[in-house]
Amino acid sequence: MKTKKELSEMTREELGQELMRMPGLESPEQEIFKRMHDINTFQCTFGNELYLRGLDEYGKDFIICFDAFEFINWIDTEQIAYIKEQVKKHVDSK
């Protein structure tokens, strides 16, 4: 297993290759399901990448990268309103 420093110095292609070497991720066709808890970092880069960082369901650091343009096209006012409505239902039920 590589250290955080080693991973941080890798190119995007090298990171992709390293990810595919992880157990259970050998096949690019395999669906990946992760749950992000405790979102603690948001970053939008000049290169049109949007990053969210937090902890996964096992308490390990987890980063997801979106194409920023695709993200804002997909998450619009209607989706935000729906998310708020669902969260309110969840909170009110507690």
Q: What is the pTM for the complete model shown? A: 0.57
Q: What is the mean pLDDT of residues 8-16?
A: 75
Give yes or no for a contact between 43 and 30, defined as CB atoms under 8 angstroms apart: no
Q: What is the mean pLDDT of residues 22-34?
A: 68
- Give the model's pLDDT for residue 6: 76
Give yes or no for a contact between 70 and 86, defined as CB atoms under 8 angstroms apart: no
Angle 87-39-48 (CA atoms, 0-180°, nearest 5)? 105
Residue 89 dihedral angles phi and psi, to the nearest 5°: -60, -45
pLDDT-derived band at 23, boundaries 50, 70, 90: low
pLDDT digits (tens, 9 = 90+) for 43-88: 999 889 999 999 988 889 989 999 999 998 888 888 888 989 999 9
- Give the model's pLDDT for residue 93: 92
Locus of tokens 């993200």: 71
